[in-house]
Amino acid sequence: MKLINPETKESLFQKGDNLVDNKGGIFPIINKIPRFVDADNYCSNFGFQWNKFSKTQLDEKNDNSQISKQRFFAETNWDKEDLSEKNILEVGSGAGRFSEVVLVHTQANLYSVDYSDAVSANLKNNGSIAPERLQLFQASIYDLPFLDDSFDKVFCLGVLQHTPDFEKSVKSLINKAKMGGEIVVDFYPINGWWTKFNAKYILRPFTKKMPNDRLISLIEKNVDWLIRLSLFFSKYKLGFLNRFLPIVDLESVLPKGLNVKQVREWAILDTFDMFSPEFDNPQKISSVKQMFEKNGVLVEFSGYVHYGKNSKAAVVRGTKLS
């Protein structure tokens, strides 16, 4: 796969511990990963998050759980045999829960990108599975170090709502797919006026400004009683009140079948994920479908995809035609 300077489109080649071009562009390779963005950026909370909870969501590190595998194949609707030797772009890898699925269950070549230093956690988790098929990059979704029309498949799961410009992000993903290539995204949906009538949106203006270690400490100190209260509301048919609790909705967000320890860990992780991001932009499914179509994609599915037990995600997927 040819690498380019995202700004000038000049070809890059390795020189020592850097990628360089013939016009003076230079990008460092740190911990075996090319870095195309500054370490301190609006996604630093995700770097903190995924290096702290690096193994929480990984199937292979959690008694061969199938949660991430089920979600990946349900949302993409891809045939793992058809992915053999295909070049796949993953944008927003986090600690590598879906990178692991691709590397373990397919023979695809994976080019995985994250804007934060979560790529370091991904390398630790997945770097030894199939090193010849995994390439990691720290880069922006808006300035990816690849030529347009390069990838057979492109996916972006759990990420788009946290980017500054949702539609620009979608367009950037589509640009990197080949003609006839498939693009799959999921995102936080808008379900009505009540979507933002939620503790998350009420408190985020304050919590997103808190230092990461202070926010995680606050969550850890309160998570146990919040879990008990959330379960109490659900048990007595008062689940609608959970939206006002400063904790992730255990019933609708957390996978089923987790043990007590896992529930606590996932609750801390997802609550931090809920309150720390700089951006949180839910979308109407119909609006994302229109974004795909406006950028030359034949939409093959737009709606909710169910996976695991009672878990679902808003998904749009399609094929690039022009």
Residue 183 placed within a domain: yes
> What is the per-residue pLDDT across 90-116, written as a single tens digit (0 to 9) for each?
999 999 999 999 999 999 999 999 999
Q: Do 315 and 229 share a domain, yes or no?
A: no
Same domain, 50 and 150: yes
DSSP 254: S
The total number of structural domains that make up the chain: 2
> Could you tell me whether strands 151-156 and 177-187 are parallel, antiparallel, or unpaired per DSSP bridges?
parallel
Whether 2 maps to a domain, the answer reads no
Same-domain status, 292 and 270: no
Q: Is residue 25 part of a domain?
A: no
Do 115 and 251 sit in the same domain of this protein? no
Same domain, 171 and 268: no
Q: Are residues 155 and 270 in the same domain?
A: no
Cβ contacts of residue 188 below 8 Å, gap of 6+?
161, 280, 281, 282, 283, 314
Residue 318, judged by CB atoms within 10 A of its CB (0-12, 13-18, 19+), counts as buried
Q: What is the CATH number of the domain that holds 117?
A: 3.40.50.150
Q: What is the pLDDT of residue 194?
A: 80
Rounded distance, CA 181 to CA 298, Å?
Answer: 11
Question: Is residue 145 in some structural domain?
Answer: yes
User: How many angstroms separate the Cα of 310 from the Cα of each of 141, 204, 252?
Assistant: 31, 27, 7
221 and 296, same domain (yes or no):
no
Could you give the CA distance from residue 153 to residue 9 in angstroms, rounded to a whole number? 21
Determine the Cα–Cα distance for residues 297 and 274; give it in Å rounded to an integer: 31
78 and 152 co-located in one domain: yes
| 315 found inside a domain | yes
Q: Are residues 80 and 136 in the same domain?
A: yes
Domain range for residue 225? 193-275
**Pair 166, 261 in one domain:** no
Assigned domain for 19 exists: no
Q: How far apart are the C-alpha atoms of 243 and 229, rounded to whole Å? A: 12
Residues near 284 by beta carbon (within 8 Å), at least 6 away in sequence: 189, 190
Stretches in the chain below the pLDDT threshold 70: 64
Residue 15 lies in a domain: no
Which of the listed residues 259, 275, 291 is the one where a domain comes to its end? 275
Residues 153, 85: Cα–Cα separation, whole Å: 11
- How far is 76 from 301, CA to CA, in rounded Å? 10
pLDDT at 64: 67
235 lies in the same domain as 290: no
Residue 175 in any domain: the answer is yes
Q: Residue 222 has what pLDDT?
A: 98
Q: Which residue has 């946290």 as its token pair?
A: 162
Same domain as 172, residue 64: yes
Residue 75 to residue 129: CA distance in whole angstroms: 23
